[in-house]
Amino acid sequence: MEENNQNTEAPVDPSVEKLTKIKKELLSWIYIIVTVFAFKSSFFEPNHIPSGSLLPTNAIGDFILVNKMSYGFKLPYSDLFGDPIYLTTPSDPKRGDIIVFRYPRDRNILYVKRVIGLPGDEVEVYNNKVYLNGKLIETKPVAKEEYIDLFDDKFDKKGIEFEAVELDGKKFVTAVNNSMPYHLNIPKVKVEKGHFFVMGDNRDYSSDSRVWGFVPFGHIRGRAMLVWFNMVYPWSKEKFHFRPWRIGTLL
């Protein structure tokens, strides 16, 4: 008796096979996107500096890397629509840290500023002099040559002067325009619990806590670590710049 070797399997419909491959590919891309955005949400994320409020520390066009774990580990995606959920005990930023945060008056806008006052601190600013808990934060003049090229023509370069500052061990340089008829002052205020007083290093060209108040801790996304690229887009309102020597600048 002869053995029957005929294949009894039903033929595969090419359209079904193609659809299966498409589903697998889409699923792979979904996994990749979810993983990348989870990483961005909880670990590190890039941000772009579009303005000159942090000159000379951050140049216009700097692309910065933000450490999202600096003040605690967040549950991925938990900060998309409100305050993040922390999986570890959160810690406050330190004075002198550059932080990226959601603008207190519009959470859809990201701001970058430097922390000056912590909860409970008393802060006063008069003629670009900052008083912290009743004591003047000392400054020393710095030569213009190292920093002035970062400022474009929309700034009054003749009036700009630079000052070296040390705040809780953090050293940085601020810019002040002593030719301006007035400066943005603020009388002594006490920083509320769970909030922070922030300022831009470009003192006379920065909208910060002197204008719109304190930053709630829940609005903070992370601490700026370094500059990984610098370019002002050709289609931007700002003058086109490409500064490769900014790459690797620590913040």
For residue 108, what are the CA distances in angstroms to 80, 82, 177, 224? 10, 10, 31, 19
**Structure token pair of residue 138:** 């000392």
Contacts of 174 (CB under 8 A, 6+ apart): 128, 139, 162, 163, 165, 201, 202, 203
Stated as kind and residue range, the H or E segment containing 40 is: helix 14-42
Q: Which two tokens stand for residue 200?
A: 């831009």
Q: How far apart are CA 229 and CA 246, in angstroms?
A: 7
* Cβ neighbours around 60 below 10 Å, total: 23
What pLDDT does 18 receive? 76
Tokens 């053995």 map to which residue?
3
Q: Residue 102's pLDDT band (boundaries 50, 70, 90)?
A: very high
**Among 67, 75, 88, 94, which Cα is nearest to 221's?**
67
Q: Is 53 known to be catalytic?
A: yes
pLDDT digits (tens, 9 = 90+) for 142-189: 999 999 999 988 888 888 999 999 999 999 999 999 888 889 999 999
Q: Which residue has the higher pLDDT, 49 or 239?
A: 49
The pLDDT assigned to 156 comes to 84
Q: Which of the residues 68, 70, 74, 113 is marked catalytic?
A: 113
More confident residue, 25 or 139: 139
- Tens of pLDDT, residue by residue over 104-151, are 999 999 999 999 999 999 999 999 999 999 999 999 999 999 999 999
Superfamily, domain 16-231: Umud Fragment, subunit A (2.10.109.10)
Nearest to 73 by CA among 246, 239, 227, 222: 222
Arithmetic mean of pLDDT, 7-22: 69
Catalytic residue of the set 53, 70, 206, 209: 53
Residue 1 pLDDT exceeds 50: no
Per the annotation, the verdict on 207 as an active-site residue is no
Q: Which DSSP state fits 36? A: H
Q: What percent of the chain has pLDDT over 70?
A: 94
Does residue 79 have a pLDDT over 60?
Answer: yes
Answer yes or no: are the C-beta atoms of 208 and 227 closer than 8 Å: no
